[in-house]
Amino acid sequence: MKILIADDHGLMLAGVRQALEDDRDFEVVGEARTGPEVMPLVGRRAPEIVLLDLRMPGVDGLTLLQRIRAEHPEVKVVMCSMSSDPDQIQAAFRHGAAGYILKTINPLDLGSAIRQAVEGTAFHALGLPAMTEDTAAKSAGLTEREIEIVKAVSRGLSNKAIAAELWVTVQTVKFHLTSIFRKLGISNRTEAANWALGKGILAERPAAA
């Protein structure tokens, strides 16, 4: 797969290039160090994938993401960043990113993470070793049952379907949802799904609002 790397740090560029060349599934067809370099390179080099830093000098990563998706919809854009801010992760997916990879990821796992994004199986931030389901749930005060319900809601299941899947009553599901909304400081199911997305605990794409 032809891939273009965009990052303003030379060491990061070199490390990513080496990791992808070692993987053998990827051909690095270009590198960009600033935002304004990205679009011309995409046009000239015709990559299948752009691995794009969220913070690029000159033009920020989210703006570039939107431009690439608008002008080259066939190109998959995978964001790469040090930021694990849920709002930024959600914004990247909302604007069409195929994936979001934390720069803390093991270089040996980089190729696999990009493939997951390209294949449409990565709908959460990759490379968050500290943000497991347990730590996310504990930090929010959610019980094991509540985290199951959050994940079910994110899959688009109705209260009735959740009740059937978990062998509880619909009223019990409603009770848990009320508790979940209170603990997370949110007011609806879509926000619950977005919370799960930001914490990287989803196995499937969240349902549409």
CATH number at residue 65: 3.40.50.2300
Q: How far apart are CA 56 and CA 59, in angstroms?
A: 6
Which of 126, 142, 173 is the last residue in one of the domains?
126
> Are residues 27 and 119 part of one domain?
yes
Q: 173 lies in which domain range?
A: 133-199
pLDDT at 206 over 70: no
Total domains in the chain come to: 2
Which of 78, 102, 126 is the last residue in one of the domains?
126
pTM, two decimal places: 0.63
> Are residues 149 and 121 part of one domain?
no
> Are residues 145 and 64 part of one domain?
no
Q: Confidence class of residue 121 from pLDDT cuts 50, 70 and 90?
A: low
Q: Confidence class of residue 148 from pLDDT cuts 50, 70 and 90?
A: confident
CATH number at residue 143: 1.10.10.10
